[in-house]
């Protein structure tokens, strides 16, 4: 076994603290990565606090992982020692179901193996995430990371990046379309960057008027303060596509009213309670309300390559691992522009 240092939650109420544990030895098809940076996702806090139920303790969070390969198994063909690599939200899947065969391992019919707060495919061995100094993963679930971009700003692409890239690509967002991004946080700011890069006319919908300048700096053409009733009225029946990144309770029906006939709204944020949707928000103009969750390995690699070619990274704030609880408090308040990233050298 490989001795690893990390930070873990022992239960839903105590702060994260140093935690020593073991990873498996590097198998024939595995790579071992020395973790340099790990992004802090809002879902880390949800799961640490057991807000979604079913949390597994002790829990080492983190699924926005980047670092350098230190060892490879004898059968590994696509990675070499010394190369940069990344790990996203899952580390295995059944590999044989229709979803996996189609390259959509995130929707594995058996259930993917989450990078943390989950189990390996044996459904018995707990998985531990990126708030640690090393990880061992099958090469088929490992991603190539370009050295053209600042590594610390690449980390959030492994969740916030692919979570917004995937639906924009799936629904073929591009030139000639009017696109709205609901919320300008860790997910939303990446949605703006991608939608603008794809050539769409981008509008940010936010109740925080103070974010207008940032929205336009990130690539948005327009900004609508959703507390301004007149501004909201002006964009009724206006958008071809809306990407909803908000994880707080909000009025989905109001945003559906902003869609054109046959427009689509996709939810990637997860509010804490069920969101009421009125049938008449959808029926009269044949609108679509959908959901999306990260991307498969192939699409995530495509996204990383696209970012390297187009100089796209996350806007980040680097933190010390000992400051993770403070970071969680600030994240809930929206006091981060726009993603915390842990420097694992501080572990």
Q: What CATH number corresponds to the domain at position 139?
A: 3.90.180.10
Collapsing DSSP to helix, strand or coil, 7 comes out as strand
Virtual torsion, Cα 100, 106, 108, 109, nearest 10 deg: -140
d(C-alpha 238, C-alpha 261), whole Å: 9
Q: What is the DSSP string of 85-117?
A: EEE-SEEE--S-SHHHHTT-GGG-SS--EESSS
148, 55: one domain: yes
94, 124: one domain: yes
147, 44: one domain: yes
Count: domains in the chain:
2
Inside any domain, residue 307:
no
Inside any domain, residue 305:
no
150, 7: one domain: yes
**pTM of the predicted structure, to 2 decimals:** 0.96
118, 66: one domain: yes
pLDDT computed for residue 248 by the predictor:
86
Q: What's the domain range around 278?
A: 161-291
Inside any domain, residue 254:
yes
285, 211: one domain: yes
Inside any domain, residue 299:
no
165, 238: one domain: yes
- Mean pLDDT within 174-198: 97
Query: Which helix (H) or strand (E) segment is 330 a member of?
Result: helix 324-333
d(C-alpha 122, C-alpha 126), whole Å: 10
Inside any domain, residue 274:
yes
Q: Choose among 43, 42, 30, 303: nearest CA to 158.
A: 303
pLDDT computed for residue 21 by the predictor:
97
Q: What CATH number corresponds to the domain at position 184?
A: 3.40.50.720
Per-residue pLDDT reduced to its tens digit, 219-258 = 999 999 999 999 999 999 999 999 999 988 899 999 999 9
275, 338: one domain: no
pLDDT computed for residue 39 by the predictor:
98
Per-residue pLDDT reduced to its tens digit, 285-329 = 999 999 999 999 999 999 999 999 999 999 999 999 999 999 999
Per-residue pLDDT reduced to its tens digit, 56-71 = 999 999 999 999 999 9
Q: Is the pLDDT of residue 18 over 90?
A: yes
């Amino acid at each position: 076994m490989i001795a690893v240092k990390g930070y873990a939650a022992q239960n839903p109420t105590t702060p994260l603290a140093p935690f020593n544990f073991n990873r498996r030895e590097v198998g024939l098809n595995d790579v071992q990565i020395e973790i340099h940076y790990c992004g802090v996702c809002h879902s880390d806090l949800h799961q640490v606090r057991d807000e979604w139920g079913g949390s597994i303790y002790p829990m080492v969070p983190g699924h926005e992982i980047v670092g350098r390969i230190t060892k490879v198994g004898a059968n590994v063909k696509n990675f070499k020692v010394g190369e940069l690599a990344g790990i996203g939200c899952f580390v295995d899947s059944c590999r044989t179901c229709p979803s996996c065969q189609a390259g959509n391992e995130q929707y594995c019919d058996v259930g993917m193996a989450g990078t943390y707060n989950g189990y390996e495919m044996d459904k018995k061995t707990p998985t531990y995430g990126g708030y640690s100094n090393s990880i061992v993963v099958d090469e088929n679930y490992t991603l190539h990371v370009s050295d053209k971009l600042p590594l610390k700003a690449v980390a959030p692409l492994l969740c916030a990046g692919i979570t917004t890239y995937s639906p924009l690509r799936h629904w073929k967002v591009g030139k000639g379309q009017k696109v709205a991004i609901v919320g300008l946080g860790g997910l939303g700011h990446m949605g703006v960057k991608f939608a603008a890069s794809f050539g769409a006319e981008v509008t940010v919908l936010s109740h925080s008027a103070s974010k207008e300048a940032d929205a336009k700096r990130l690539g948005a053409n327009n900004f609508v303060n959703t507390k301004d009733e007149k501004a909201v009225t002006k964009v009724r029946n206006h958008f071809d596509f809306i990407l909803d990144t908000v994880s707080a309770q909000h009025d989905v029906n109001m945003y559906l009213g902003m869609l054109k006939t046959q427009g689509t709204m996709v939810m990637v944020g997860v509010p804490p309670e069920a969101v009421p949707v009125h049938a008449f928000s959808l029926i009269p103009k044949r609108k679509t309300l959908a959901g999306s969750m990260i991307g498969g390995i192939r699409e995530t690699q495509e996204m990383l390559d696209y970012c390297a070619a187009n100089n796209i990274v996350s806007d980040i704030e680097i933190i010390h691992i000992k400051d993770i609880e403070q970071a969680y408090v600030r994240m809930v308040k929206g006091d981060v522009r726009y993603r915390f990233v842990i420097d694992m050298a501080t572990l």
